[in-house]
Amino acid sequence: MAIFLKNVTFHGILLDALFEENSTMWQEVSSLLKAGIREGVVQPLKRTVFPRTQVEDAFRYMAQGKHIGKVVIQVREEER
């Protein structure tokens, strides 16, 4: 929680509502998100990746509650 003492703000968007039929806001949010990524304002969460052979280690790591961001199990190599 020390990050909040550094004048950092977090904003969440409930994207489910944007995918509903007749949503006109999706184009606006999409363009804002793309611009934010391009300008470096929007940054992805940190992640820790475990190979599929270390599922138990990943679970133990997550269960400790000390991780920040996502804990990911890599099932296969990423396709190009």
pLDDT in the model for residue 2: 64
pTM of the full structure? 0.50
Domains of the chain: 2-74 (3.90.180.10)
User: pLDDT tens digits, residue range 39-62?
Assistant: 998 887 888 999 999 999 999 998
Separation of alpha carbons 75 and 25, rounded Å: 34
Helix, strand, or coil (residue 45): coil
For the record, the structure tokens of 55 come out as: 């599922």
**Structure token pair of residue 10:** 């977090």
Q: Other CB atoms closer than 10 Å to residue 67's CB: what's the count?
A: 14
State residue 14 phi and psi, 5-degree precision: -80, 95
pLDDT at 49: 93
- The strand pairing partners of 48, in sequence order, are 71
Taking 50 as the pLDDT cut, the residues of the chain under it are: none
Question: Do the beta carbons of residue 34 and residue 12 sit within 8 Å?
Answer: no
